[in-house]
Amino acid sequence: MGEGGMSNNGMTPEQLARAWEAGRITPLAAPQDATALQVALGGAAAAGLLAELAARHGPGVIVGSGGSAGGRRWCLQPLAHLQASAAATAHWLGELGLDPAACVHLNPLPLHHVSGLLPQVRCRQWGAAHRRLEPAWMREPASLAAAVPAAALAQEHALLLSLVPTQLARLLEHPAGVAWLQQLAVIWVGGAPLPQALATRARQLGLRLAPCYGATETAAMVCALPPARFLAGDDGCGPLLIDVHLHIDPNTEALELTTPRLSPGTLEQGRLRPLPRTAAGGWRSGDAAQLGPAGVRILGRLDGAIHSGGETVFPEQVEQALRAMSHAAGLPLAEVLLLAEPCPEWGERLVALVRPLDGAAEEPLLKALVRLAQPLPPSQRPRRWLLCPGLQRSPLGKWQRSRWQAWLQDLPASSG
């Protein structure tokens, strides 16, 4: 299954391939999630459960999903579903004029993450080359460029890469990272919203980004924006892949997906619980979305949306607006995260957690952000702005909102 490379739970791609050939289902987890996974599998009864699931669904994996607001879920994904996802991605590449078998799939994500697993499956199915990238190289562009000479590789192969926005931002901080990315034919960016300032810079540099959207429950990507359309200025996550159908609830804007590769269910205390389905047979992803000329546009998590003064507010959208305005104003803002707190008058109001760039003056930044937010609608204007020096995303670029909500609740009542 391409090059070696150990996943965080000790499983290599070669070992995983042998497990599939033997008809087994293999659980994959990062070390910090091993206990939670064992509980989901039923503890001592896990071996029997896995054998029963393999008899019903064939070989496959159990991988984690979620973990930001609704808690970690452990999804069963049969190998047949992963292969169907690889086939749909191959069709998407073919529409771009690329031969999947002639590509080299670069992969900096761990095997226990669905976007790190799928490159292995794609390359095995397409007959393409797979190249493992050390995660540390995403923070060290010079080391990356030295270890993987993209300019030389690109002379004979189309180079593919999946990144999260945090990794993309780190690479763009260094000229070597920029030059390396400019050699790639397709750079799928997913896992979190792509900040507008980052998209603008990528376009200016001619990077062939393909913003995309998917989930562990759908065996990864369900839509992707072709790079040419990204460079032409289109926003969003592009059109649906060939095996996906979409419905948007007109009342809630909830995104509902139908595809043959939906997970059979999640594991909870030794039982497989089917995914909840809509009346039409689809799966409600938990995200709100809109459908426009450029395809799917994700608004934010429904379980993270707040109701403020009669308005529905998606914090992710406001965060993007604040980052874009801060970037345009040259403010030393490293991160901003918006959370909700109860308000007797409004129902809920936003609170902003702020981390300045290293060495930046804190109070002047907060005052500048307050002024900058004034043009926003009242429901989107944070009621409080709090310095949070430790504020950071997970290694895969996602916000663990429950963690920072707990941090907010633990503050003294007078803070902010």
User: 3-state DSSP helix/strand/coil percent for the chain, to nearest 5?
Assistant: 40, 25, 35
Q: What is the pLDDT of residue 1?
A: 39
Helix, coil or strand: residue 386: strand
**Average pLDDT score over the chain:** 90
Strand partners, 295: 292
pLDDT classification of 412: cutoffs 50, 70, 90: confident
Alpha carbons within 13 A on the beta-carbon side of 294: 20
Q: What is the pLDDT of residue 9?
A: 54
Kind plus residue range of the DSSP H or E element containing 170 = helix 165-172
pTM here? 0.81
* Token reading at 34: 């091993």
Alpha carbons within 13 A on the beta-carbon side of 130: 25
Cβ pair 130, 119 in contact under 8 A? yes
* Domains of the chain, start order: 13-301 (3.40.50.12780), 305-409 (3.30.300.30)
pLDDT tens digits, one per residue of 205-260: 999 999 999 999 999 999 999 999 999 999 999 999 999 999 998 888 899 999 99
Q: Percent of the chain at pLDDT above 90? A: 67
pLDDT classification of 409: cutoffs 50, 70, 90: confident
Q: What is the pLDDT of residue 69?
A: 41
Residue 281's nearest CA partner among 302, 253, 251, 260 is: 260
Determine the Cα–Cα distance for residues 397 and 378; give it in Å rounded to an integer: 29
Kind plus residue range of the DSSP H or E element containing 93 = helix 79-95
Segment 37-65 shows an average pLDDT of 94
pLDDT tens digits, one per residue of 383-397: 999 999 999 988 767
pLDDT tens digits, one per residue of 167-182: 898 899 999 999 999 9
Determine the Cα–Cα distance for residues 265 and 255; give it in Å rounded to an integer: 18
Q: Compute φ and ψ for 350, nearest 5 degrees.
A: -80, 145
pLDDT tens digits, one per residue of 99-148: 999 999 999 988 998 999 999 999 999 999 999 999 889 989 999 999 99
Determine the Cα–Cα distance for residues 344 and 289; give it in Å rounded to an integer: 29
Q: What is the pLDDT of residue 413?
A: 56
Q: What are the C-alpha distances in Å from 66 to residues 63, 98, 359?
A: 10, 32, 34
Is 411 or 380 the better-scoring residue by pLDDT? 380
Q: What is the pLDDT of residue 280?
A: 80
- In one-letter notation, the amino acid at residue 252 is T
The C-alpha angle 22, 10, 6, rounded to 5 degrees, equals: 95
Q: What are the C-alpha distances in Å from 177 to residues 23, 171, 200, 261?
A: 41, 5, 17, 35
